[in-house]
Amino acid sequence: AGGGQKLNMPSLSSAELWRASGRWDGMGPELFRLADRHGKGYCLGPTHEEAVTELVAAQSNLSYKQLPLRLYQVTRKFRDEPKPRFGLLRSREFYMKDMYSFDASGEAARQTYNLVCDAYRSLFDRLGLPFVRVQAATGNIGGTVSHEFQLPADVGEDRLAVCPDGHFAANVETLNGEQTSCPTCGEKLTQTRGIEVGHTFYLGTKYSSVSNAVFYSPDNKPQLAEMGCYGLGITRILAASIEVLSTEDSIRWPSLIAPYQLCFIPPKKGSKEEEEGAMLMERVYDDLMEALPHLAGDSVLDDRTQLTIGRRLKDARKLGYPYVVVAGKRVCEEPPVFEVWNQNTGEVLFLTKEGVFELLSKVQVP
């Protein structure tokens, strides 16, 4: 929606490119380095500023009319983390959505920066994740302005300072020791921990000046493109959302990224509800798929009827289906009543077939 064009850049990057930008040495041991059979150096891309800037620099007659360029990919990244932990949260290989923008002026580049930040806000709102955008250090990416999107969580690696009235938020590493109150309203900053799930940088001409990534202005003069770069940790969002939303005994996914929306649990084999319950559940499923066809590919039938309902329900809670429909003892009543578990609120509802339909008609599937 922000005018991004999708591309795919190589995982292997030439050491020459990284030496030119100063990051071959600057990244330190976090950079995975290797040499080919001819002794030429390469690294496994932890990020792609050098590669994308070189690509744009190769367009020899780029006009200001072709800007802004907003190029993004969803790909694997590699970082030799000192302490990989938390399963998906801090691993050496992970998926990232990274975007790189090229604009004709500093003002236009800042507009792009704000546009992407708004897109990230919208994304986390749609996922229902309680995020905070904080001022952050530019680190080894560089540039002059940087913000992190953080999910507050006790297990988070980052320490955050937040104004209770929402005027200011920063990663503690960017503050000097004396700053304990909000620069806007003077309220005392509260400290919390967070998991970083997104990061944005305004880069200026840091990389375009190295690769000579220029465009031609209205008076046909070559000018360096103003850049920004932006990253969303895809695997991080998966892991962090579970960390932030789940309870002790059940996984809770944002429904937009739940593996399936719905799990059906028929009666146990040999129970007195078995025959009637299985038949009714099949009918409910068929009618539901006809009425709400968008749920057809988003539903699972747990047909392990040799296991008790309780055991299958426990598994369903561990897997995190937002809704579980159970054909239990009350399925033999007139009219039949189904047990429906709403994982994300912890509610258990007893509903007729019509009630089940009404509840599930509100489910959003991406």
Tokens standing for residue 40? 């030429």
- Positive or negative CA dihedral for 206, 208, 211, 216? negative
Measure the N-to-C terminal CA separation of the chain; round to a whole number of Å.
Answer: 16
Would you say 12 and 63 are in contact if contact means Cβ atoms under 8 Å apart?
A: no
Residue 280 clears pLDDT 70, i.e. is over it: yes
Mean of the pLDDT values across residues 33-47? 97
Confidence band for 250, pLDDT divided at 50, 70 and 90: confident
What's the CA gap between 167 and 159, in Å, rounded?
Answer: 18
Please report, to the nearest 10 degrees, the dihedral formed by the alpha carbons of residues 207, 208, 210, 214 taken in order: 170
Residue 191 clears pLDDT 70, i.e. is over it: yes
Residue 88 clears pLDDT 80, i.e. is over it: no
Question: What is the pLDDT, as a whole number, of residue 85?
Answer: 64
> Per this entry, what is the length of the chain?
366
Residue 178 clears pLDDT 90, i.e. is over it: no
Would you say 331 and 338 are in contact if contact means Cβ atoms under 8 Å apart?
A: yes
Mean of the pLDDT values across residues 68-77? 97
* pLDDT tens for each residue of 340-360: 999 888 899 999 999 999 999
Residue 87 clears pLDDT 60, i.e. is over it: no
Residue 189 clears pLDDT 70, i.e. is over it: yes
What's the CA gap between 4 and 25, in Å, rounded?
Answer: 31
Q: Which of 254, 224, 250 is nearest to 151 (CA)?
A: 254
Mean of the pLDDT values across residues 132-144? 92
Question: What is the pLDDT, as a whole number, of residue 196?
Answer: 95
Residue 77 clears pLDDT 60, i.e. is over it: yes
149 CB contacts (<8 Å, ≥6 apart)?
120, 124, 131, 132, 133, 196, 197, 198, 199, 200
Question: What is the pLDDT, as a whole number, of residue 226?
Answer: 98
- Positive or negative CA dihedral for 179, 185, 187, 191? negative
Tokens standing for residue 303? 């047909």
Question: What is the pLDDT, as a whole number, of residue 344?
Answer: 85
Mean of the pLDDT values across residues 235-253? 90
Question: What is the pLDDT, as a whole number, of residue 365?
Answer: 74
Q: Where are the domains of the chain?
A: 5-245, 255-361
255-361 falls under which CATH superfamily? Anticodon-binding domain (3.40.50.800)
Residue 295 clears pLDDT 80, i.e. is over it: yes
Mean of the pLDDT values across residues 309-326? 94
Confidence band for 255, pLDDT divided at 50, 70 and 90: confident
* pLDDT tens for each residue of 194-234: 999 999 999 999 999 999 999 999 999 999 999 999 999 99
* pLDDT tens for each residue of 54-67: 999 999 899 999 99
Residue 90 clears pLDDT 60, i.e. is over it: yes
Question: What is the pLDDT, as a whole number, of residue 140?
Answer: 87
Looking at the chain, the whole-number percentage of residues with pLDDT higher than 90 is 78
Question: What is the pLDDT, as a whole number, of residue 91?
Answer: 79
Confidence band for 155, pLDDT divided at 50, 70 and 90: confident
Q: Which of 343, 347, 349, 346 is nearest to 318 (CA)?
A: 343
At residue 38, what are phi and psi to the nearest 5 degrees?
-95, 5
- CATH class of residue range 5-245: alpha beta
What's the CA gap between 56 and 126, in Å, rounded?
Answer: 33
Residue 269 clears pLDDT 90, i.e. is over it: yes
In this structure, what DSSP letter does residue 294 have? G
Q: Specify the residue for token string 């598994």.
A: 315
Confidence band for 86, pLDDT divided at 50, 70 and 90: low
- In degrees, rounded to 5, the angle at the alpha carbon of residue 249 between the alpha carbons of residues 269 and 91 is 115
Confidence band for 4, pLDDT divided at 50, 70 and 90: very high
Would you say 31 and 43 are in contact if contact means Cβ atoms under 8 Å apart?
A: yes
What's the CA gap between 58 and 38, in Å, rounded?
Answer: 25
User: Cis omega (within 30 of 0) on the bond before 366?
Assistant: no
Question: What is the pLDDT, as a whole number, of residue 117?
Answer: 97
What's the CA gap between 160 and 46, in Å, rounded?
Answer: 25
Mean of the pLDDT values across residues 286-309? 91
Buried b (16+ CB within 10 A) or exposed e, 151-178: bbbeebebebbbbeeeebbbbbeeeeee
Distance of alpha carbon 232 from the chain centroid: 6
